Structure 1
Amino acid sequence: MSWKSTLIRLLEDNRGLVVLFFCLPASYIFNLILHTKNWLYRKFYGSSLNHDRQVIKIQNQIKSWKKSNSTKLLCNDRPNWLSLSTKFFQKQKCHKVSVNLVNILELDKKNLTIRVEPMVTVGEITEYLIPMGYTLAVTLEISDATLGGLAMGTGMTTYSHKVGLYQETIISYEVVLGDGSLVTATKVVNSDLYKALPWSHGSLGFLVGLTLKIIKVKPYVKLTYIPIKGQKEYCDKIRYLSGAINCKDKVPDYVEATIYNRNEAVVMTGEFSNGDSNLPINHVTKWYKPWFYKHTESALKKGKFTELIPLREYLLRHNRAIFWVVESMIPFGNNPLFRLFFGWLLPPKPAFLKFTTTPGIRTFTFTNQVFQDIVLPINELENQIATSEKLFNTYPLLVYPCRVYDHGPESGQIKRPPSKYLIPGTNYTMYNDLGIYGVPGHVKNKVKYNPVAAMRDMEAFTRDVGGFSFLYADIFMTREEFGTMFDLELYEKVRKRYFAEGAFPHLYEKVKPEIDVFEIAKRYE
């Protein structure tokens, strides 16, 4: 056996040690270097004039590719391991274009908008906006997520029951097309492109600028933890607080739930606050603090309680443990001693987790873990939980309520929500994100388990109730099934109209796993 094979085997057999002794310190150092590099770049090259120069360079790269008559399709040159997607898109087969746009361009306090370049991260935008009393209307909890990645994919947060998916907060997109031209897409100008860009995952053009809605905020979130026993009780509570029922009542600013087993959940409500001397302040993102979902779980024993959390810490409350994914990599990660001595290194950057992922580790995680965010009608919440338990038998489950709007025919890849779910007097229905992360109970208990069949059953359930899967995670659908879950009618027209055909990979090709899921399924037959 060669030294290379030996090294790969050691990496695969000692994943936890690799994370602890390589990924964590490397993540910390890399983050410091990247933060410093971007800060210097913004300070000296952060002008709109420099932005225009960078965009022209991108246009020229595409025009040169076009003149060369290359048969290779286009993609950006960002390494796969820097992406938050679980997949490894085969960029070596594409013509790579350098798109390094990391600047915050313009804050418009009057109109409550901010213009940014696509590689600005959630961590950076919250650090910039919150001290001035603003935040994005939709902010993901993972600091490494890029605003452009969310725009071309999707995102939601615990404020989404008031505003909807991330795409609902986008004012305009600036895109370089497959012919090298630069266009702006809004609800009025190039409106068909505007509708098709969300969920397109870079298959329609290169995003070079983005204008987003922001909201005025206060420095704290007053967060109340409500432990509830009984599935019907906590499901009804989530629906009520989100406005899915009794929708004329005022809803909290933030709503989320963590379900710890079929009969127990903690529902959380948050309100913007200037502070309250009668309430404790909890700095939940400090390195020595319990992981947030463990802190939340304490409400099951001690009962309902309320505390203040600084706004940025609330928004990034799940970042340290990547919800609860880190537990499957470092089972002792929430131990007080580990947190005290090593907690400051968390979280491991997804980049380094992917960087150290060998084909063997990729197959292992694919078949022995589940990492999915699925958006489903909140009226089906009980069925969601039952289906997840039957197929994966893993808890906790994450629930974020979210509006899904009916924008009419040909409104993008998200299908119009079934009319039976529409909230009376509105053009939206209430869905929810169901976050399923961890090692399935079947795997833990060494019970026969077919990961491909389980996910395909989950996807079939999702299609049947009018839901859809987040596409950063692995999908297990055929192209035909994919076309049933998503509405590709406008997308296909836009591909032809805006020069994406023959220039960029098709959406399905961009988001399907790089490994053959159906071949893997045969191993379990």
Structure 2
Amino acid sequence: MEAHAQVVDGIASTIRGFFKSGQSYRVSHGSSNSTRPGHATTRQKVVDISKLSNVITVNKQEKIALVEPNVPMDRLVEATLEHGLVPPVVMEFPGITVGGGFSGTSGESSSFRHGFFDETVNSVEMVLGNGDVVTTSRDERPDLFHGAAGAVGTLGIVTLVELRLVEAKKLVKTTYRRVQEIPEAISEIQKQTANPSLDYIDGIVFSREHSVIITGELTNEKPAETGIRTFSNADDPWFYMHVRETTRELGPSAPTVVEYIPLGEYLFRYDRAGFWVGRQGYTYFKLIPFNKFFRWLLDDYSHTRTLYHALHAGGIAEKFVVQDLALPYDTAEYFINWVDKELGIWPLWLCPLRGGCSLPTFHPVTALHLPPKSTDEESTDSDGEEIARPPRPEVDSTRSQPMLNIGVWGWGPSDHETFVYKNRALEVTLGRLGGRKWLYAHTYYTEDEFWNEYDHRSQYQRLREKYFATKLPTVYDKVKVRPSTPDKEDGQSSSGWLKSPLNLGKWISNDVWLRTWPIGGIYGMIRATLSGDISLHRDAKWRYKRD
């Protein structure tokens, strides 16, 4: 703890200096799993907390861990598994950090039972905006503890987390249940949340006729004749493709298949291909065949750490829809139909979320309260058809209700204006259906719309003033995407320099070339290669070692 205390003292001293001089600043963590473009400028002061990346202690008797905020999920799981323990909620991507899980929103396949990641946190050490180092929990400064969860680091800097742990087991007994229709998929996943024997639940909607509900039970036993299934090796199948092929021929008479997956392999089963986003890399480059050989050859580029580097460096995030949306179960089918019609994106991910989160919050939760139906032009979809809502009761509650997370990840419209319009339409539709979105993704609300959706602006502002956080950006400042349409007449489009060689200098100086196919993608792969993250998966201790 002495080394930790020295680093925190240095951070606190830096912030104390900014506070006295009245300077604004931003925080550098050293990594990001957000798809939002950065808004930082060279004039901003930076507080670097990247050194806070250690698991301090794991207490087996008390089942807790003291962890610094920049510890990624894979290192956390490796450290706790040595003691026969595991975090109750583990984000599916190995590079997502503990601090990101608390300050952002992390709902995973165990969240139907344990809630969001921050609900498994006992306490947090924070540096306030005046340089004070404090501890906050449900009993000590509870307003700050609750307010900072999901507030994307805008109420102070998290420097240490005490995390609750649960008993780990060697394997996950995994059941794939094929269902034929979307309404059946929604009702089945909701039904499974009441099964007390389950530890993990999620689902994949491949098409209108093919959905799979995936359930997992922790176990140390398996039938002797049953093999072990892994997904982390270069010659293993991508998880989503394996699920699709395994269940393709299942029918009503035999709807399930059971496999046994080592715990670490299960927790990070979506790492290769980033669920199925990695498939779009082959779509982008066009000339690279999407087959088993090339998936093996390019495996280093299929893991989520390298995918994030490529996504940002190549400007691909500006063309890709990466959204997680949480909706009440009774409006989820309508939303899936809307996504199919307006975006045409498949597959979709389903993840049930436990209710009970205290409101208000920046988390994507609801109290089943729907706003009055609008009568303006945004009440219709792109074909002019009225957006209808299923009749639902108005409920005044201080606690969130159970919801269904729907992951929508795929190429958006190639035209920038249409891309923004579709994202805006998604936000409008989501709001009318009683849902909310994760704030890691592109957010296009106006400021008034944002605070109407996350309706505790005055309470949030009081917290910022009380804990000296007004020199940090607000949540809206951090999540708002500032879309800009390239000025084609000024030669700044990807092909504008071809029309006039005089525009070549502007084309280069404005970095438009980085967004030009295939330069952006190649540049993203180069950045991923040079990042140092490209080989981390090879030596991961959580991977199952074959005999």
TM-score, structure 2 as length reference: 0.77
Name which of 201, 206, 216 aligns with 1:255: 201
Q: 1:169 aligns with which of 120, 123, 126?
A: 120
Query: Which position in structure 2 is the counterpart of 1:460?
Result: 428
Amino acid at match of 1:261: S
Q: For the residues of structure 1 that align with 2:280 and 2:236, how far apart are their CA atoms?
A: 19
Any idea what the Cα deviations from partners look like across 1:437-461, whole Å, max 9, x if unmatched? 1124x66xx9x98222222121112
Q: 2:478 pairs with 496, 510, 525, which one? A: 510
Residue 340 of structure 1, aligned match among 296, 299, 302? 296
C-alpha distance in 1 between matches for 2:149 and 2:25: 19
Equivalent in 304, 307, 310 of residue 262 of structure 2: 310
1:27 aligns with none
Q: Secondary structure at the match of 2:422?
A: helix
Answer yes or no: is the 8 Å Cα contact 2:361–2:454 preserved in 1.
Answer: no
Q: How does 1:411-490 map to 2 (within 5 A)?
A: 416-418=366-368, 429-440=401-412, 450-489=418-457, 490=459
Indicate the residue corresponding to 2:504 in structure 1.
none
> Which residue in 1 is equivalent to 2:379?
none
SS in 1 for 2:226: coil
Residue 183 of structure 1 is matched in structure 2 by 134
One-letter identity of the residue aligned with 1:274? N
Structure 1 residues 519 and 300 mapped into 2: Cα distance closer, same or farther (>3 Å)? farther
Distance 1:239 1:497, change over 3 A: same
In the alignment, structure 2 segments of 5+ residues that lack a partner are 251-255, 370-391, 494-547
Provide the residue aligned with 1:280 in structure 2.
227
CA distance in 2, matches of 1:204, 1:327: 38
Correspondences of 1:113-512 after superposition (within 5 Å): 113-243=64-194, 249-250=195-196, 252-276=198-222, 277-303=224-250, 304-331=256-283, 335-344=291-300, 346-347=302-303, 349-350=306-307, 352-354=309-311, 356-357=313-314, 361-362=315-316, 365-366=317-318, 368-407=319-358, 410=360, 416-418=366-368, 429-440=401-412, 450-489=418-457, 490-501=459-470, 503-512=471-480
Q: Which moved more, 1:149-158 or 1:455-464?
A: 455-464
Q: 1:266/1:411 Cα in 2 relative to 1: closer, same or farther (>3 Å)?
A: closer
CA distance in 1, matches of 2:123, 2:70: 16
CA contact (8 A) 2:326 2:365 kept: no
Match of 2:40 in 1: 91
The residue type paired with residue 310 of structure 2 is L
Distance 2:443 2:477 in 1: 11
Q: Do the aligned partners of residues 251 and 391 (structure 1) sit closer, same or farther apart at CA in structure 2, a change above 3 Å counting?
A: farther
Q: Give the Cα separation in 2 of the matches to 1:104 and 1:339.
A: 33
Measure, in 2, the Cα distance between the counterparts of 1:421 and 1:184. Answer: 40
TM-score (norm 1): 0.80
Give CA deviations for 1:379-403 in whole Å, capped at 9, x if unaligned. Answer: 3221121121122111000001011
CA RMSD of aligned residues (A): 2.7
Q: What is the CA distance between 1:472 and its match in structure 2?
A: 1.0
**What is the Cα deviation at residue 406 of structure 1?**
4.6
Aligned to 2:165, the other structure's residue is in SS state strand
Offset of residue 216 of structure 1: 0.8
Aligned mates of 1:197, 1:175 — CA distance in 2: 10
2:3 counterpart letter in structure 1: N
1:148 shift after superposition: 0.4
Classify the secondary structure of the residue corresponding to 2:298: helix
How far did 1:427 drift? 5.9
Q: State the Cα deviation string for residues 302-324 of structure 1 (Å, max 9, x = none).
A: 42311110000100001010111
Q: Distance in 2 between matches of 1:438 and 1:389?
A: 12
Paired with 2:22 and 2:297, the residues of 1 have a C-alpha distance of: 56
User: 2:447–2:476: 8 Å Cα contact kept in structure 1?
Assistant: yes
**Do the aligned partners of 2:175 and 2:259 also contact (CA within 8 Å) in 1?**
yes
> Number of residues paired by the alignment?
452
- Cα distance in 1 between the residues matched to 2:226 and 2:472: 53
Opposite residue 435 of structure 2, the aligned amino acid is G
Q: Distance in 1 between matches of 2:485 and 2:90?
A: 32
Deviation of the 1:338 alpha carbon = 1.5
Q: 1:213 to 1:421 in 2, by over 3 A?
A: farther
Contact 2:150–2:361, Cα closer than 8 Å, also in 1: no
* Counterpart secondary structure, 2:35: coil
Letter in structure 2 aligned against 1:50:
A
Query: Could you tell me how far apart the structure 1 residues matched to 2:28 and 2:248 are?
Result: 50
* Separation of aligned partners in 2, 1:354 and 1:106: 34
Q: How far does the alpha carbon of each residue in 1:73-124 deviate from its partner, in whole angstroms, 9 at most, with x for none? A: 1212345xx3111123232242101212011112222332211000000111
Inter-partner Cα distance in structure 2 for 1:253 and 1:240: 14
Q: What letter is aligned with 2:39?
A: Q
2:18 corresponds to which of 65, 89, 110? 65
Query: Displacement, 1:328?
Result: 0.9
Residues 278, 302 of structure 2: 8 Å contact kept:
no
Q: C-alpha offsets along residues 281-340 of structure 1, whole Å, 9 cap, x if unaligned?
A: 101211111111000101332423111100001000010101111111134575211233
Is the Cα–Cα contact under 8 Å of residues 452 and 518 in structure 1 kept in the other structure? no
Shift in CA distance, 356/455, structure 1 to aligned 2, threshold 3 Å: closer
| Distance (whole Å) between structure 2 residues aligned to residue 302 and residue 142 of structure 1 | 30
Could you tell me how far apart the structure 2 residues matched to 1:327 and 1:386 are?
23
Shift of 1:411: 5.7
Q: What secondary structure does 2:149 align onto?
A: coil
CA distance in 1 between counterparts of 2:55 and 2:191 reads: 38
Q: What amino acid sits opposite 1:385 in the alignment?
A: I
Q: Give yes or no for contact 2:366–2:400 (8 Å, CA) kept in 1.
A: no
Distance 1:345 1:328, change over 3 A: closer
Residue 141 of structure 1: how far off its partner (Å): 0.8
